[in-house]
Amino acid sequence: MSRFCFLITYECNLRCKYCYLGDRRQKVGKQDYSKLPELAREVSKKYLDADYFVDTVKIYGAEPTVVPPEILAEVANIFKANLKENGWILFNTNGTLLTEEYVTTFTKLAFGKVRWIVSIDGPPPVTDKSRGRGTFEKAWEGAKRLKAAGYQVKIGLTYTDALIEDLKQLEWFEKLVLRHNMALDSLLPHSGATLRKDLQVKLAKYAVARNFWRRDVLHFKRPMACFKNVSEDLRFDCEGKALPCHVQPINFYTSYKGKSFKEICESFTMPPPVEGTANCGDCFVKPYCEMRCPLYKPEYDINCDYLKTVFEELAKYQGISREQAVSDFIGA
């Protein structure tokens, strides 16, 4: 198991339009965090102090920084104690609650072996449209505070229609992030918030031309890969439940309590993959597409035009068939 993911809370101070948690998301103030260190200690002892070769613990939510910094730091330290020598704690946050006081308090208690991903969706008008008025300024200031405190910081960018309609906005934002010595990690939104079809094509051509298409295409896993390789990435939430899929965390298949690591992995059994939607037909990307995952509902669209255009562009540049481009990528 190379990565352990801990969904630490379902509470969030924002209401992003494309949030994968959907109705599972809660308003701030309903959850008691006093028991989180105890849960972290129990889970850490069970899985991290054994020889499972975990090198990353990802702590995310909804929004992890709704947890008081003292408690969040304690949870981080519990996990750090059992990580490999070169391991890391990775926090994924919207950044808006990272005040000077919060960052200072957390840093004093748990600085080493911690990295951060701060979610920002582009320039101020774009981010504020998808995440709420004033969000960009707060999130960007939070990211800069983390950087000033000495952390490695990535900006997590989710593509939206508003951003891709004018690619100069994306170029401006990429330069801003690099100018502040931060990295950029991008993500295509999932079902319910997918890009408009013409914008999927536009983004795909932009990505292939600049050779960063791979980081987005990799989010389209091979059919059933997340279950065949479950031992590489184990996910739990703040209720002590194991999460079978990063896309639909509502579907719990097992609880970790009273079960061994082997039993948990064996419990991740799935029905045969579905054949996709009526629109799939004999689509040339079908051998790679995540549409065949049984957790997807038939009415969902997962950026099909983006994926098809990427492989069509790659085929054109390499002088091969698009089917061969897909085959080569799967075998890579």
Q: In this predicted model, what pLDDT tens digit does every residue of 253-282 receive, in sequence order?
A: 344 555 665 665 565 555 555 566 667 778
Structure tokens at 214: 């791979």
Block residue for tokens 């008691």: 32
Q: For residue 109, is pLDDT > 90?
A: yes
Which position has the higher pLDDT, 122 or 219? 122
Q: What is the pLDDT of residue 54?
A: 73
Is residue 40's pLDDT more than 70? yes
DSSP per position, 170-219: HHHHHHHHHHTT-EEEEE---TTSPPPHHHHHHHHHHHHHTT-THHHHTT
Residue 30: other Cβ atoms inside 10 A: 9
pLDDT for residue 74 is more than 80: yes
Instruction: Note the pLDDT of residue 23.
Output: 72
Question: What does the domain layout of the chain look like in residue ranges?
Answer: 3-187+225-267, 290-331
**Reported pTM:** 0.84
Query: Quick one: what percent of the chain has pLDDT higher than 90?
Result: 44
> What fold, for 3-187+225-267?
TIM Barrel (3.20.20)
Residues 6+ apart with CB under 8 A from 327: 287
Q: Please report which confidence band the pLDDT of residue 248 belongs to, taking 50, 70 and 90 as the band edges.
A: very low
Order across the sheet with 233-237: list the strands. 183-187, 152-158, 114-119, 88-93, 56-61, 3-9, 233-237, 241-242, 254-255
pLDDT at 294: 54
Average pLDDT, the chain: 80
In the predicted structure, residue 192 carries a pLDDT above the cut 60: no
Q: Find the mean pLDDT for residues 205-214.
A: 84
